[in-house]
Structure 1
Amino acid sequence: MPDTPDLVVIGAGIVGAACAYHATRAGLSVTVVDRGPIVGGTTGAGEGNILVSDKELGPELDLALLSNRQWRALADLPLDGTTFGRTVELEPKGGLVVATGQAPLDVMRRLAGKQQARGIEALAVPAHDLNEHEPHLAADLAGGYLYPQDMQVHPMLAAAHLLRLARQRGATVLTHQPVTGYLRDGDRVVGARTPHRDIAAGAVLNAAGPWAGEVAALAAVHLPVAPRRGFILVTEPLPPIIRHKVYLADYIADVASDSAALQTSAVVEGTRAGTVLIGASRERAGFDHTFSLPALRALARGAVRLFPGLERVSTIRAYHGFRPYCPDHLPVIGPDPRAPGLFHACGHEGAGIGLSMGTGLLIAQVLAGEHPDIDLQPFRPDRFTESST
């Protein structure tokens, strides 16, 4: 480990890994620290979504498109006699968004029109053509839209191999070392403190996922990042019966909701191993690890609504994670003027996997003194007041 790395990254999940990868590519020396193991938090409980289909026009869509390009560029990187994409199960399977009636289909049509003007591929699929794309889909749906740019990745593999690539460029990864404070030179943050060591650094990056608010508070700055719990059901391995990521249009509105109550919307996709992942739920319940039978039952009902044949399929497990929720549904990316030397890359909620590569690139560009590819003003850390929840 260098005596004084250019950057200390707090968090060894997918966002921290992407930031470390891009920072080392930019020639910076990096040390990554995490309170637990690699991908021991939100990333280890994710589905691996890389989506543009669920984004309204605005800064998050700009970030999603930037990230999508970064993921596609990384897919062909040679790795272990194959490619990065194959190693981390990066699949450009596309997304199919479907509607149960004419009203949600009309909402989808308006959104797709705006997205198409921004350069997103959104292909209308009439009801009678849905089964050409998904033969086992319910027969009574009103129609949908196909998004070829949507992808899926194995999130744990992706984060682990991004960190591996960063280590090959000299990065150090320290696990089971929670950050307990910062080193300061006047107002400036000049390093991080753990129970095991002080790490002086040129800059410190808070990529602590749902714990990012607590990590920011150690520097006496306010970030209203809170955990939003979500459950996922996993079926027994099946023959390949689901070709795309398939979800109801309701999912888009639920993700953008400010409600703290339990919400579920059907999201179904297959994996390379043959299992089917069933989501998605969300509720603001703090760091409560209690399993919610109402949430799991609602997920099962939603999946069967989309794919009736799943009614006869067994589930083999369920898991949950805590997504880093921000009240304005935008991530926090960039330098914090309230604590010079401190940067943030957090608050991505359920989109962290997909948005991670663009986030890492932007952080590396700022640290290297370059002009970022997209405007960071909407993501600035000091946009919140103390009353933000």
Structure 2
Amino acid sequence: MDVVIIGAGVVGAACAYYASRSGLSVAVVDRGPVAGGTTGAGEGNLLVSDKEAGPELGLALLSTELWRDLCAELPHTIEYETKGGLVVAPDDTTLKALRQFAEGQRVAGVVSAEVGPDALYDLEPHLAPGLAGGFHYPQDAQVQPALAAAHLLAASGAEVYPGEEVTGFLLESGRVRGVRTSRRTLRAPRVVNAAGTWAGAVAGLAGTTLPVLPRRGFVLVTEPLPRVVRHKVYAADYVADVASDSAALQSSGVVEGTPSGPVLIGATRERVGFDRTLSTEALRRLAAQAAALFPFLADVRVMRTYHGFRPYLPDHLPAIGPDPRVPGLLHACGHEGAGIGLAPATGALIAAALTGAEPPAPLHPFRPDRFPEGAGPGPSAGRDRGHPAPNPPGRADHPEETP
């Protein structure tokens, strides 16, 4: 075996897919089922619209191309949909801030178009009246995340061991030689940590640190409706919530239709460890903000709600690539809410690092050892299973692809 990947979410599956395509033999192990963590709780959005020019946006643009290729390569549907995103502004001040944000993105290769108040309702006829305008992002897309993870993993041909927790690393003279699980020993000269919100704990098993923390989010799911919401539509303050360092509850209206009929409503963010308690305040905010964007939703039934935990790193960038502190250990984690969107680029970067090939994007901004020595996943890491952006007008403090 050439490499063991810890984590069978969409990031781990993408790493397995691209490593296998590079000629490596791969094993994937996960304490739960395929897509049983953050991936299964995600909405599947592939976004460039919420990212300013910088390393993360570069990964997002690369992944936009790779997702398009994967849709053609994979033998089964992943419900890839190029529906585009629409960011709306309630007033001229907010619209001006969006205009400046979009200009910076455009230099980096993002396609967007300003939409005036009249044309806004041509794109989304059911939006609330009186909005000042917005920006349309045709590159934004969506996949069904659990399907994407499952089909990437199947196409990789990897040996898959679900329901097996990694209990330790095999180390010789400080170098990785494989892992021990609750059922077996898997020997390999390289191990990839793609354990999502548990990546900090996995790093600890290898004798190193990575300050990954869980960031909880909720999603409301309505009764099935005709396709009344055509794009992913969100208020401008969503971008700021993504970039916030605050641990407190934050919410901003994010609404999108699905091919099967239900409307998905997000997004909240808060750092509460792995607390799975249902937050009525979070749900109340979501419902109110969704109805503020689309008034008809006030009379639509919510059929269910779900929540998950995004793997958060303090600088809002993922950790991708070799860990120089533990030879043979690589990381592919900490994507927070962007993991589904950034999975293909992450997998391609990991495959290049494993084979010594030229990476398709710079690795340096994502180096796993960039955090202060001794930083760890925090005191809540073992209790349960489980990018900077501009300040938007009207928000002093600042979900994304996942709830």
Confirm or deny a common fold (TM above 0.5).
yes
Cα distance in 1 for residues equivalent to 2:166 and 2:132: 51
Aligned to 1:251: 238
Amino acid at match of 1:128: D
Find the counterpart in structure 2 of residue 131 from structure 1.
121
> Counterparts of 2:93 and 2:32 in 1: how far apart (Å)?
46
1:62-141 superposed matches below 5 A: 62-77=58-73, 79=75, 84=76, 87-141=77-131
Structure 1 counterpart SS, 2:272: coil
Amino acid paired to 2:134: G
Q: Secondary structure at the match of 1:227?
A: strand
The answer to whether 1:143 aligns with 2:133 is yes
Unpaired runs of 5+ in structure 1? none
Map of 2:223 onto structure 1: 236
Task: Check conservation: 2:210, 2:375, Cα contact below 8 A.
Answer: no
Paired AA for residue 37 in structure 1? P
Residue 317 in structure 1 maps to residue 334 in structure 2: no
- 1:334 aligns with 321
Shift in Å, 1:78: 5.6
Distance in structure 1 (CA, Å) of the matches to 2:277 and 2:146: 23
CA distance in 2, matches of 1:314, 1:28: 49
Task: Output one character per residue of 1:76-124: Cα deviation in whole Å (capped at 9) or x when no partner.
Answer: 2262xxxx4xx11110000000111122211110011111111111100
Q: CA deviation at 1:293?
A: 0.4
C-alpha separation in 2, matches of 1:182 and 1:373:
29
Equivalence for 2:165: 178
Cα deviations by residue, 1:142-178 (Å, 9 ceiling, x for unpaired): 11000000001110011011111012xxx10001101
1:211-360 map, 5 Å: 211-360=198-347
| Cα shift readout 1:253-278 (whole Å, capped 9, x = no counterpart) | 11000000000011000111100000
Question: In percent, how many aligned pairs have the same letter?
Answer: 62
CA distance in 2, matches of 1:187, 1:371: 26
In the alignment, is the contact (CA less than 8 A) between 2:209 and 2:375 conserved in 1?
no
- Aligned counterpart, 1:12: 8
Are 1:59 and 2:55 matched, yes or no? yes
User: SS at 1:375's partner residue?
Assistant: coil
Is the aligned partner of 1:46 residue 2:42?
Answer: yes
**Which deviates more, 184-193 or 98-107?**
98-107
Question: Given that residues 11 and 347 in structure 2 are in contact (C-alpha distance below 8 angstroms), is that contact kept between their aligned partners in structure 1?
Answer: yes
Q: How far does residue 202 in structure 1 lie from its aligned partner after superposition? A: 2.0
Change in 2 beyond 3 A, CA 1:120/1:36: same
* Residue of structure 1 equivalent to 2:354: 367
What do residues 327-355 of structure 1 show as CA deviations (whole Å, max 9, x unaligned)?
00000000000000000000000000000
SS at match of 1:91: coil
SS at match of 1:27: coil
Deviation at 1:197, TM superposition (A): 1.0
Q: Which runs of 5+ in 2 are unaligned?
A: 379-403
TM-score by length of 1: 0.95
Query: C-alpha root-mean-square deviation of aligned residues, in Å?
Result: 0.9
The 3-state SS of whatever aligns with 1:76 is: helix
C-alpha separation in 1, matches of 2:74 and 2:245? 42
Q: Report the Cα offset of residue 220 of structure 1.
A: 1.4
SS, match of residue 60 in structure 1: helix
The 1:387/1:157 distance shift into structure 2, 3 A limit, reads closer
Q: How many angstroms apart in 2 are the aligned matches of 1:104 and 1:42? A: 32
Shift of 1:228: 0.2
For 1:17-62, what per-residue CA distance to the aligned partner results, in whole angstroms no more than 9, with x for missing partners? 0000111111100000000111110001001010000001110001
- How far, CA to CA, are the matches of 2:342 and 2:200 in structure 1? 19
1:387 deviates by: 4.6
- The amino acid across from 2:209 in the alignment is H
Query: Which AA in structure 2 matches 1:342?
Result: L
Give the counterpart letter for 1:92 in structure 2: T
Amino acid at match of 2:331: H
Could you tell me how far apart the structure 2 residues matched to 1:166 and 1:250 are? 39
1:193 is matched with: 180
1:32 corresponds to 2:28:
yes
- Code of the residue aligned with 1:302 in structure 2: it is Q
Q: Distance in 1 between matches of 2:309 and 2:177?
A: 29
Q: TM-score, normalised by structure 2?
A: 0.92
Amino acid at match of 1:141: L
Q: Distance in 1 between matches of 2:186 and 2:353?
A: 21
Displacement of 1:281 in angstroms is: 0.3
The separation in 1 between residues aligned to 2:188 and 2:93, in whole angstroms, is 54
Query: Whole-Å Cα distance in 2 between the matches of residues 387 and 176 of structure 1?
Result: 29
- Could you tell me how far 1:206 is from its partner in structure 2? 0.2
Aligned CA distance change for structure 1 residues 78 and 46 (closer, same or farther; 3 Å): closer
Counterpart-to-counterpart distance in 1, 2:41 and 2:104: 32
